[in-house]
Amino acid sequence: MPPRKRATDTAPSTMKELKDTLWKAADKLRGSMDASQYKDVILGLVFLKYVSDAFDERRRQLEAELIADGLDEEGVASLIDDRDEYLGSTVFWVPEEARWEYLAQNAKGIQESSGVEFRTIGQLIDAAMRGLMDENPTLAGTLPTMFNKDNIDQRRLGELLDLFNDTRFTGDGARRARDLLGEVYEYFLEKFARAEGKRGGEFYTPAGVVRVLVEMLEPYNGRVYDPCCGSGGMFVQAEKFIEHHGGNATDIAVYGQEHNERTWRMAKMNLAIHGINAQLGDRWEDTFSQDKHPDLLADYVMANPPFNIKDWTRREDDKRWKYGVPPVGNANYAWIQHIISKLAEKGSAGVVMANGTMSSNSGGEGDIRARLVEADLVSCMVALPTQLFRSTGIPVCTWFFAKDKSAGVKGSIDRRGQVLFIDARNLGYMVDRAERALSDDDIAKIAGTFHAWRGTESAKGAEYANEAGFCYSATLAEIKEADYALTPGRYVGAAAIEDDGEPIEEKIARLTKELFEQFDESTRLQAVVREQLGRVG
């Protein structure tokens, strides 16, 4: 029988190979458990495989470094297990029985000795997860330990390990490995969100929507906060934005909170994979009932709160309700005011909301919105295309807030007393019949318009101008005249119709003639149909 192939013997997997392999892995368990369970199994194994591969690679690098320094075999052995050499390279310490090679060798379970009970592969993986959490405090309470449950087929789980054993997440350096696995992890979050339908929206925000927030806010440095962080997508996109623009991801400090236990664990794993040291609280918790960061004042807040929550923890004397007490049956304006309460003196925020928030007057929401406008906190409103969220048909918009819109604060143009309205409903393209996505050009158009309006450095000297049908800079007086409705369509007007050279009088006469001709044809066809029906009778 040929020896079992080691993961270290294979060439680095391409992104397509990784995605294909891992989706096949998901298929192996799809029939035996629901989507949320197999999500935990697959993402947990992906994480375990990554930390083990990264550990093995760092171990080989360290061995080469020690040999290059002239150490003999005994000297290498005495230093190869120095944990600081791993942790200092942002590599988790992996105890021996949590290493992938050990698990792969025992994929069918293990009988350690005649007097010891047989241990299933599920038990071994659970022990590996606990070992990782014990040895790495930042992973405490994060990893799933449910691999030995009755509804998990141990034979299939062993086959799953065999499939993963041919997949590598290393080979081009730790940073590239992290990027590779991070992309795989995000790919699976998206796939699982689609599989779970409406529930999937609890942990996944489409990447295009997140990018609109990030590209508008430009969180280069400072404190970044998300009060309903889901699986951490806002933070991951913020890190990608910083690196894309040549910055250093360590210049931001990340704070988040999530009320769902499973989602909180996913976020912890996702951010660990991306090397993001995030403060997500010591456990999952509802932001309204227990704020895990009570003293935080953030430079940037990015959030996609759950829309139109009817059952939420509400206290009328909450100090966050500075602009009015939100209604009992809808938490939208509670989220908005919580987010504003978290902004530092010159902080800014981007929030995804249901379209109804822009014009609703029920439960005092109109009064709250009016006070927000009069306090000059709203900087920009963007109406987004429909069908961006597969999990909901509710049309969405993005609110942007700024504590200070004067010149010199994140922009060279004084925009106090003004709000930019962008109607982006006609942008995007259909991915399939059910889902629309924003292209890079769409996102650049939205963000570029805002930066030109604000006069930021990234605008590169581009001057802002109102564009009929797309954008308009309104004064607070104009907004008050519209009864504080913040729907962009009210302000941007209709797009200019291209002049085709035909005089308007001639066009009206021609179209009128064509219309009457169509009426005549319709009358003729009705007579024919009546005649045919009469013959049938």
Residue 506 lies in a domain: no
End-to-end CA distance of the chain: 82
Residues 375 and 469 in one domain: yes
pLDDT at 102 over 90: yes
Number of domains in the chain: 2
Instruction: Give the pLDDT confidence score for residue 5 in this predicted structure.
Output: 43
- Match 């969220």 to its residue by tokens: 389
Instruction: Give the pLDDT confidence score for residue 303 in this predicted structure.
Output: 96
Please give, one letter per residue, the 3-state secondary structure of 426-438: CCCEECCCCCEEC
Instruction: Give the pLDDT confidence score for residue 164 in this predicted structure.
Output: 77
Residues 238 and 136 in one domain: no
CATH of residue 142: 1.20.1260.30
When pLDDT is averaged across residues 501-516 and rounded to a whole number, the result is 78
Residue 149 lies in a domain: yes
pLDDT at 116 over 70: no
Residue 524 lies in a domain: no
Q: What is the pTM of this model?
A: 0.80
Last residue of a domain, one of 137, 156, 187: 187
3-state secondary structure of 486: coil
Residue 195 lies in a domain: no
Helices assigned H by DSSP within 298-429: 332-341, 365-374
Residues 211 and 294 in one domain: yes
Residues 335 and 480 in one domain: yes
Residues 131 and 214 in one domain: no
Instruction: Give the pLDDT confidence score for residue 269 in this predicted structure.
Output: 86
Helices assigned H by DSSP within 69-120: 73-79, 83-87, 100-105
Instruction: Give the pLDDT confidence score for residue 288 in this predicted structure.
Output: 95
Last residue of a domain, one of 187, 217, 239: 187
Residues 348/350/356/357 CA torsion (nearest 10 deg): -20
Residues 225 and 169 in one domain: no
When pLDDT is averaged across residues 259-279 and rounded to a whole number, the result is 86
pLDDT at 290 over 50: yes
CATH of residue 396: 3.40.50.150
**Among 179-193, 284-298, 312-326, 472-486, whose mean pLDDT is lowest?**
179-193
Please give, one letter per residue, the 3-state secondary structure of 303-333: ECCCCCCCCCCCCCCCCCCCCCCCCCCCCHH
- Burial level of 143, CB count in 10 A (0-12/13-18/19+)? buried
Last residue of a domain, one of 187, 218, 243: 187
Give the range of the structural domain holding residue 358, as residue numbers without chain letter.
203-491
pLDDT in tens, 413-433: 999 999 999 999 999 999 888
Instruction: Grade residue 9 by pLDDT with cuts at 50, 70 and 90.
Output: very low
Residue 325 lies in a domain: yes
What percent of the chain is modeled with pLDDT above 70? 87
| Closest C-alpha among 326, 477, 487, 345 to residue 402 | 345
Distances (CA, A) of 463 to 422, 452, 466: 16, 5, 10
| Closest C-alpha among 409, 282, 415, 387 to residue 343 | 409
Residues 53 and 93 in one domain: yes
Residues 175 and 252 in one domain: no
pLDDT at 381 over 90: yes
Residues 426 and 338 in one domain: yes
pLDDT at 174 over 50: no
What percent of the chain is modeled with pLDDT above 90? 49
One-letter amino acid for residue 53 of the chain: D
Residue 294 lies in a domain: yes
Residue 521 lies in a domain: no
Residues 303 and 179 in one domain: no
DSSP string computed for 456-483 = -GGGTTPPP--BTTTEEEEEHHHHHHTT
CA distance 466 to 220: 28
Instruction: Grade residue 133 by pLDDT with cuts at 50, 70 and 90.
Output: very high
Instruction: Give the pLDDT confidence score for residue 112 in this predicted structure.
Output: 66
Residues 163 and 14 in one domain: yes
Residues 250 and 349 in one domain: yes
Mean pLDDT highest for which of 40-44, 60-64, 482-486? 482-486
